[in-house]
């Protein structure tokens, strides 16, 4: 048995997930055996705000400030990994490698061929005393891909069934889907559908002074605004064909005001309710358009904790069944961290980690760089 730690903080930046994962010794590809321990880390409030600012605006920062952010994110990631390691009761020497996604602060594969994640992997490796795999996205971008989404390969390994067409749905800061029509990896496809928690969180923080809309109560107190919804659905991204990926640099409050200049004249709760509907509609439309044979949708990510969002998805997707990945054996809050443990395992074994049909890359490539402790 081999152990890897996966580290992930998504575009919502609501926490750092660390998962200690076990893999068997199957050849040529070890099989995922489950999460042995999990820990949730958090950015200090000033650091989180600085990182969010990088996503929301065109940043003006010095090289010193960039280096400081790179260092501070790495420290936070290493602390989360250390907590997971302690929870597992394992020494550092028992871990083959850490897969550290880092914190995405820039993603523009089409315009600049770039995707930047902060979190100095050499510092993570040295603080933990464990070899660290990081910088997963740029190899795919260099091969002509979007560099995202990368988790569909893991979704296929865990959730694909020959007799039951499925979709794996991640409701993070951005929503993305993996279409799993059968057991054959060549049939897998996936892409980012648009905003999820990130845009709702930003509006809730502006209106309530809290980082997110707990249990979707703010949205549930409002009414759907049809004109606002139609204006937002008119963004060209939603109709664009895959492969495609996006981020909070595309969907933020300035985007919201650009699409609907009369925003400030609406009741804040009505806006939140409409943003929730936007996520549900764009996800459901994407699944119906690209996976019409789907029988079951397995959701994961922070959005599964929003009862209103899940209720709307269930209504819009019917008669497809909507559940969470817990029904398939993996806690919905652990999926993305476990995916980067799985990707680190593949890198250390010299196996490709991307799916060209998903990212648009010219070929399968080994992802990430290896940083020795």
3-class DSSP state for residue 254?
helix
**Could you give the domains of the chain?**
2-148+335-371 (3.30.420.40), 152-328 (3.30.420.40)
Residue 234 annotated as binding site: no
Residue 10 annotated as binding site: yes
pLDDT score recorded for residue 294: 98
Nearest 5°: CA angle at 338, between 335 and 344? 145
pLDDT score recorded for residue 60: 80
CA distance 314 to 183: 25
Q: Are 340 and 371 in contact (CB under 8 A)?
A: no
Half-sphere exposure of 345 (CA within 13 A, CB side): 29
Residue 16 annotated as binding site: yes
pLDDT score recorded for residue 249: 82
- Largest pairwise CA distance in the chain: 61
Residue 17 annotated as binding site: yes
CA distance 342 to 3: 10
C-alpha radius of gyration, the chain, whole number: 20
pLDDT score recorded for residue 106: 86
pLDDT score recorded for residue 87: 98
Residue 14 annotated as binding site: yes
Residue 11 annotated as binding site: yes
CA distance 160 to 167: 9
pTM of the model: 0.93
Using CA atoms of 169, 173, 331, 310 in order, give the dihedral in degrees to the nearest 10. -60
Residue 116 annotated as binding site: no
> Which residues, given as ranges, of the chain have pLDDT below 50?
none
Tens digit of pLDDT for each residue in 3-46? Answer: 999 999 987 788 899 999 999 988 888 999 999 999 999 999 99
Residue 119 annotated as binding site: no
Nearest 5°: CA angle at 18, between 330 and 170? 50
DSSP conformational letter for 222: S
3-class DSSP state for residue 324?
strand
């Amino acid at each position: 048995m081999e152990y890897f730690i996966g580290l992930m903080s998504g575009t919502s930046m609501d926490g750092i997930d660390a998962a200690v994962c076990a893999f068997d010794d199957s050849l040529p590809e070890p099989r995922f055996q489950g999460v042995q321990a999990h820990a949730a880390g958090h950015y200090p409030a000033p650091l989180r705000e600085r990182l969010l600012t990088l996503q929301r605006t065109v940043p003006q920062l010095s090289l010193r400030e960039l280096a400081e952010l790179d260092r501070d994110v790495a420290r936070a990631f290493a602390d989360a990994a250390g907590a997971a390691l302690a929870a597992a009761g394992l020494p550092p020497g028992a871990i083959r490698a850490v897969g550290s996604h880092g914190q995405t602060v820039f993603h523009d594969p089409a315009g600049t061929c770039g995707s930047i994640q902060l979190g100095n992997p050499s510092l993570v490796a040295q603080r933990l005393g464990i070899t660290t795999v990081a910088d997963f996205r740029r190899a795919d971008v260099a091969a002509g891909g979007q560099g995202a989404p990368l988790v569909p390969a893991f979704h296929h390994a865990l959730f694909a069934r020959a007799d039951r067409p499925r979709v794996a749905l991640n409701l993070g800061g951005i929503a993305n889907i993996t279409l799993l029509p059968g057991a054959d990896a060549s049939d897998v496809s996936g892409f980012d559908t648009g905003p999820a928690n990130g845009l709702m969180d930003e509006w809730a923080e502006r209106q309530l002074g809290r980082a997110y809309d707990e249990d979707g109560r703010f949205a549930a107190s409002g009414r759907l605004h049809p004109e606002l919804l139609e204006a937002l659905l008119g963004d060209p991204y939603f109709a664009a064909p895959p492969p495609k990926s996006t981020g909070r640099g595309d969907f933020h409050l300035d985007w919201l005001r650009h699409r609907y200049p009369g925003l400030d004249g609406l009741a804040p709760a009505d806006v939140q309710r409409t943003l929730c509907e936007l996520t549900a509609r764009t996800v459901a439309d994407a699944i119906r358009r690209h996976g019409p044979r789907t029988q079951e949708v397995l959701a994961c990510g922070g959005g599964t904790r929003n009862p209103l969002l899940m209720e709307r998805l269930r209504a819009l997707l019917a008669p497809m069944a909507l559940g969470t990945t817990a029904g398939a054996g993996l806690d919905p809050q652990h999926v993305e961290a476990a995916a980067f443990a799985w990707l680190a395992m593949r890198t250390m074994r010299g196996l490709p980690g991307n799916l060209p049909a998903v990212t648009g890359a010219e070929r399968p490539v080994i992802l990430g760089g290896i940083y020795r402790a």
